[in-house]
Amino acid sequence: MGRKFFVGGNWKCNGTTDEVKKIVSMLNEAEVPSEDDVDVVVSPPFVFLPIVKSLLRPDFSIAAQNCWVRKGGAFTGEVSAEMLVNLGIPWVILGHSERRLLLNESKEFVGDKVAYALSQGLKVIACVGETLEQRESGSTMAVVAAQTKAIADRVLNWSNIVLAYEPVWAIGTGKVATPAQAQEVHSELRKWLHENAGAEVAATTRIVYGGSVNGANCKELAAKPDVDGLLVGGASLKPEFIDIIKSSTIKKSSV
Protein backbone atom coordinates (compact mmCIF):
# COMPACT_ATOMS: atom_id res chain seq x y z
CA MET A 1 0.00 0.00 0.00
CA GLY A 2 2.86 2.32 0.80
CA ARG A 3 1.09 4.63 3.27
CA LYS A 4 3.84 6.04 5.46
CA PHE A 5 3.08 5.74 9.18
CA PHE A 6 2.18 9.07 10.80
CA VAL A 7 2.57 10.05 14.46
CA GLY A 8 1.20 13.40 15.59
CA GLY A 9 1.66 14.93 19.04
CA ASN A 10 -1.07 17.42 19.96
CA TRP A 11 0.21 19.39 22.95
CA LYS A 12 -3.16 21.19 23.27
CA CYS A 13 -3.18 24.18 25.65
CA ASN A 14 -0.18 23.17 27.73
CA GLY A 15 3.33 24.34 28.47
CA THR A 16 5.66 27.10 29.58
CA THR A 17 8.79 28.12 27.71
CA ASP A 18 10.94 25.95 30.01
CA GLU A 19 8.63 22.95 29.72
CA VAL A 20 8.55 23.27 25.95
CA LYS A 21 12.37 23.38 25.80
CA LYS A 22 12.51 20.21 27.91
CA ILE A 23 10.03 18.38 25.64
CA VAL A 24 12.00 19.41 22.54
CA SER A 25 15.28 18.25 24.15
CA MET A 26 13.69 14.88 24.90
CA LEU A 27 12.54 14.58 21.27
CA ASN A 28 15.88 15.71 19.88
CA GLU A 29 17.79 13.10 21.89
CA ALA A 30 15.46 10.22 21.03
CA GLU A 31 16.48 7.36 18.79
CA VAL A 32 13.52 6.76 16.52
CA PRO A 33 12.85 5.11 13.15
CA SER A 34 13.96 7.05 10.10
CA GLU A 35 11.77 9.67 8.44
CA ASP A 36 11.58 7.25 5.50
CA ASP A 37 9.41 5.04 7.73
CA VAL A 38 7.45 7.50 9.87
CA ASP A 39 6.30 11.11 9.69
CA VAL A 40 6.49 12.73 13.14
CA VAL A 41 4.61 16.01 13.60
CA VAL A 42 4.33 17.89 16.91
CA SER A 43 1.73 20.57 17.53
CA PRO A 44 2.57 23.17 20.20
CA PRO A 45 0.33 26.12 21.10
CA PHE A 46 0.62 29.10 18.73
CA VAL A 47 2.84 31.12 21.07
CA PHE A 48 5.49 28.39 21.14
CA LEU A 49 5.60 27.67 17.39
CA PRO A 50 8.69 29.85 16.70
CA ILE A 51 10.77 28.49 19.59
CA VAL A 52 9.90 24.88 18.75
CA LYS A 53 10.69 25.52 15.09
CA SER A 54 14.07 26.99 16.01
CA LEU A 55 15.06 24.08 18.29
CA LEU A 56 13.39 20.93 16.92
CA ARG A 57 15.37 18.29 15.02
CA PRO A 58 14.95 18.63 11.23
CA ASP A 59 13.43 15.16 10.65
CA PHE A 60 10.39 16.09 12.79
CA SER A 61 7.77 18.50 11.55
CA ILE A 62 5.46 21.05 13.21
CA ALA A 63 1.71 21.70 13.10
CA ALA A 64 -0.39 24.54 14.41
CA GLN A 65 -3.52 23.49 16.33
CA ASN A 66 -5.92 25.64 14.30
CA CYS A 67 -6.13 28.46 11.78
CA TRP A 68 -8.70 30.91 10.49
CA VAL A 69 -11.14 30.02 7.72
CA ARG A 70 -10.05 32.67 5.22
CA LYS A 71 -7.50 35.42 4.66
CA GLY A 72 -6.52 37.40 7.74
CA GLY A 73 -7.85 40.87 8.57
CA ALA A 74 -10.27 42.16 11.17
CA PHE A 75 -10.54 38.86 13.06
CA THR A 76 -9.25 39.59 16.56
CA GLY A 77 -7.65 36.60 18.24
CA GLU A 78 -7.39 34.51 15.09
CA VAL A 79 -4.29 33.24 13.27
CA SER A 80 -4.42 32.92 9.49
CA ALA A 81 -3.08 30.17 7.26
CA GLU A 82 -0.90 32.80 5.58
CA MET A 83 0.79 33.59 8.91
CA LEU A 84 1.60 29.92 9.46
CA VAL A 85 3.07 29.69 5.96
CA ASN A 86 5.08 32.84 6.66
CA LEU A 87 6.47 31.26 9.85
CA GLY A 88 7.43 28.12 7.93
CA ILE A 89 4.92 25.89 9.74
CA PRO A 90 3.91 23.15 7.27
CA TRP A 91 0.98 21.48 9.04
CA VAL A 92 -2.25 22.45 10.82
CA ILE A 93 -4.78 20.44 12.86
CA LEU A 94 -8.36 21.32 11.91
CA GLY A 95 -11.73 20.14 13.22
CA HIS A 96 -10.49 18.75 16.52
CA SER A 97 -13.50 17.66 18.58
CA GLU A 98 -12.57 20.07 21.36
CA ARG A 99 -13.14 22.90 18.89
CA ARG A 100 -16.24 21.34 17.34
CA LEU A 101 -17.81 20.85 20.78
CA LEU A 102 -16.46 23.71 22.93
CA LEU A 103 -16.41 26.37 20.21
CA ASN A 104 -19.34 25.09 18.16
CA GLU A 105 -17.35 24.72 14.92
CA SER A 106 -19.77 23.13 12.44
CA LYS A 107 -18.73 20.47 9.95
CA GLU A 108 -19.24 23.00 7.14
CA PHE A 109 -16.99 25.54 8.88
CA VAL A 110 -14.33 22.86 9.37
CA GLY A 111 -14.66 21.86 5.70
CA ASP A 112 -14.16 25.49 4.66
CA LYS A 113 -11.10 25.74 6.93
CA VAL A 114 -9.55 22.59 5.45
CA ALA A 115 -10.08 23.83 1.89
CA TYR A 116 -8.64 27.27 2.65
CA ALA A 117 -5.59 25.92 4.50
CA LEU A 118 -4.83 23.56 1.61
CA SER A 119 -5.22 26.43 -0.88
CA GLN A 120 -2.47 28.30 0.98
CA GLY A 121 -0.09 25.32 0.80
CA LEU A 122 -0.55 23.92 4.31
CA LYS A 123 -0.90 20.20 4.99
CA VAL A 124 -3.91 19.34 7.14
CA ILE A 125 -4.62 16.85 9.91
CA ALA A 126 -8.43 16.79 9.66
CA CYS A 127 -10.21 15.31 12.68
CA VAL A 128 -13.51 13.46 12.71
CA GLY A 129 -15.24 11.47 15.44
CA GLU A 130 -18.47 10.69 17.29
CA THR A 131 -19.65 11.35 20.85
CA LEU A 132 -20.55 8.57 23.30
CA GLU A 133 -24.24 9.29 22.78
CA GLN A 134 -23.82 8.94 19.00
CA ARG A 135 -21.89 5.67 19.36
CA GLU A 136 -24.45 4.21 21.74
CA SER A 137 -27.29 5.11 19.38
CA GLY A 138 -25.50 3.31 16.53
CA SER A 139 -24.84 6.41 14.45
CA THR A 140 -21.01 6.39 14.52
CA MET A 141 -20.57 5.88 10.77
CA ALA A 142 -23.30 8.35 9.82
CA VAL A 143 -21.66 11.06 11.95
CA VAL A 144 -18.11 10.37 10.79
CA ALA A 145 -19.19 10.10 7.14
CA ALA A 146 -21.05 13.44 7.35
CA GLN A 147 -17.98 15.13 8.85
CA THR A 148 -15.78 13.63 6.11
CA LYS A 149 -18.29 14.58 3.41
CA ALA A 150 -18.10 18.23 4.49
CA ILE A 151 -14.39 18.06 3.63
CA ALA A 152 -14.82 15.96 0.46
CA ASP A 153 -17.42 18.42 -0.87
CA ARG A 154 -14.80 21.19 -0.78
CA VAL A 155 -11.58 19.35 -1.61
CA LEU A 156 -10.51 17.53 -4.76
CA ASN A 157 -6.89 16.73 -3.95
CA TRP A 158 -6.40 14.65 -0.77
CA SER A 159 -2.63 14.25 -1.05
CA ASN A 160 -1.97 16.81 1.72
CA ILE A 161 -4.65 15.55 4.12
CA VAL A 162 -4.23 13.11 6.98
CA LEU A 163 -7.63 12.04 8.32
CA ALA A 164 -7.69 11.53 12.09
CA TYR A 165 -10.45 9.42 13.60
CA GLU A 166 -10.85 10.51 17.20
CA PRO A 167 -13.88 9.13 19.05
CA VAL A 168 -14.84 11.99 21.35
CA TRP A 169 -15.64 9.62 24.21
CA ALA A 170 -12.02 8.42 24.17
CA ILE A 171 -10.26 11.80 24.21
CA GLY A 172 -8.63 12.51 27.54
CA THR A 173 -10.99 10.11 29.30
CA GLY A 174 -8.63 7.16 29.53
CA LYS A 175 -11.21 5.14 27.57
CA VAL A 176 -9.70 3.92 24.34
CA ALA A 177 -11.50 2.50 21.36
CA THR A 178 -10.38 -1.11 21.18
CA PRO A 179 -8.06 -1.83 18.26
CA ALA A 180 -10.97 -3.74 16.69
CA GLN A 181 -13.31 -0.72 17.08
CA ALA A 182 -10.67 1.58 15.58
CA GLN A 183 -10.05 -0.80 12.67
CA GLU A 184 -13.78 -1.09 12.01
CA VAL A 185 -14.29 2.66 11.69
CA HIS A 186 -11.06 3.16 9.71
CA SER A 187 -12.09 0.42 7.30
CA GLU A 188 -15.56 1.95 6.87
CA LEU A 189 -14.02 5.39 6.36
CA ARG A 190 -11.74 4.00 3.67
CA LYS A 191 -14.75 2.41 1.97
CA TRP A 192 -16.56 5.74 2.16
CA LEU A 193 -13.57 7.49 0.54
CA HIS A 194 -13.47 4.80 -2.16
CA GLU A 195 -17.13 5.37 -3.02
CA ASN A 196 -17.12 9.16 -2.72
CA ALA A 197 -13.61 10.39 -3.49
CA GLY A 198 -12.25 7.58 -5.65
CA ALA A 199 -10.08 4.47 -5.39
CA GLU A 200 -6.78 6.35 -5.39
CA VAL A 201 -7.78 8.68 -2.55
CA ALA A 202 -8.98 5.69 -0.52
CA ALA A 203 -5.77 3.74 -1.11
CA THR A 204 -3.35 6.58 -0.41
CA THR A 205 -4.99 8.74 2.29
CA ARG A 206 -3.63 8.05 5.75
CA ILE A 207 -6.30 7.48 8.40
CA VAL A 208 -4.82 7.78 11.90
CA TYR A 209 -6.38 7.01 15.28
CA GLY A 210 -6.52 9.40 18.22
CA GLY A 211 -8.10 9.11 21.66
CA SER A 212 -6.14 8.25 24.82
CA VAL A 213 -3.25 6.74 22.83
CA ASN A 214 -0.32 5.85 25.09
CA GLY A 215 2.79 3.70 25.30
CA ALA A 216 0.78 0.70 26.49
CA ASN A 217 -1.81 0.53 23.69
CA CYS A 218 0.04 2.01 20.70
CA LYS A 219 1.47 -1.21 19.28
CA GLU A 220 -1.84 -3.03 19.20
CA LEU A 221 -3.51 -0.05 17.50
CA ALA A 222 -0.63 0.39 15.02
CA ALA A 223 -0.84 -3.26 13.97
CA LYS A 224 -4.33 -2.87 12.49
CA PRO A 225 -4.29 -2.76 8.67
CA ASP A 226 -6.30 0.45 8.25
CA VAL A 227 -4.66 2.34 11.13
CA ASP A 228 -1.98 4.37 9.36
CA GLY A 229 -0.75 6.21 12.42
CA LEU A 230 -1.65 7.79 15.74
CA LEU A 231 -2.61 11.27 16.92
CA VAL A 232 -1.50 11.55 20.52
CA GLY A 233 -2.70 14.02 23.16
CA GLY A 234 -1.41 14.03 26.75
CA ALA A 235 1.14 11.27 26.16
CA SER A 236 2.90 13.46 23.55
CA LEU A 237 4.21 15.62 26.43
CA LYS A 238 5.87 12.61 28.08
CA PRO A 239 8.79 10.28 27.30
CA GLU A 240 6.34 7.56 26.23
CA PHE A 241 5.78 9.57 23.04
CA ILE A 242 9.07 8.04 21.88
CA ASP A 243 7.63 4.54 22.38
CA ILE A 244 4.59 5.59 20.37
CA ILE A 245 6.81 6.79 17.50
CA LYS A 246 8.63 3.45 17.63
CA SER A 247 5.32 1.60 17.25
CA SER A 248 5.61 2.51 13.56
CA THR A 249 8.01 -0.42 13.19
CA ILE A 250 5.04 -2.80 13.76
CA LYS A 251 3.81 -1.87 10.29
CA LYS A 252 7.13 -2.81 8.68
CA SER A 253 7.14 -6.20 10.34
CA SER A 254 3.50 -6.88 9.46
CA VAL A 255 3.76 -5.87 5.80
State the pLDDT at residue 123.
98
pLDDT, tens only, 50-66: 999 999 999 999 999 99
pLDDT at 254 over 90: no
* C-alpha to C-alpha distance for 171 and 68, rounded to whole angstroms: 24
Active site residue 82: no
Question: Which of 98, 105, 130, 166 is the catalytic position?
Answer: 166
User: What average pLDDT does the segment 147-165 reach?
Assistant: 97
pLDDT of residue 137: 97
**Over the stretch 174-232, which tens digit does the pLDDT of each residue have?**
888 899 999 999 999 999 999 999 999 999 999 999 999 999 999 999 999 999 999 99
Q: What is the mean pLDDT of the chain?
A: 96
pLDDT score, position 174: 82
Model confidence band, residue 2 (pLDDT cutoffs 50, 70, 90): confident
CATH of domain 5-254: 3.20.20.70
Residue 1, pLDDT > 60, answer no
Global pTM exceeds 0.85: yes
- 166 belongs to the catalytic site: yes
pLDDT for 25 equals 98
Catalytic residue among 96, 98, 105, 186: 96
For position 239, what pLDDT does the model report? 97
pLDDT tens, position by position, 116-155? 999 999 999 999 999 999 999 999 999 999 999 999 999 9
Provide the 10 A C-beta neighbour count for residue 218.
24
3-state secondary structure the chain: CCCCEEEEEECCCCCCHHHHHHHHHHHHHCCCCCCCCEEEEEECCHHHHHHHHHHCCCCEEEEECCCCCCCCCCCCCCCCHHHHHHHCCCEEEECCHHHHHHCCCCHHHHHHHHHHHHHCCCEEEEEECCCHHHHHCCCHHHHHHHHHHHHHCCCCCCCCEEEEECCHHHCCCCCCCCHHHHHHHHHHHHHHHHHHCCHHHHHHCEEEEECCCCCCCHHHHHCCCCCCEEEECHHHHCCHHHHHHHCCHHHHHHC
Query: With bands split at pLDDT 50, 70 and 90, how would you rate the model's confidence at 18?
Result: very high
Question: What are the pLDDT digits (tens) for 89-102?
Answer: 999 999 999 999 99
State the pLDDT at residue 253: 65
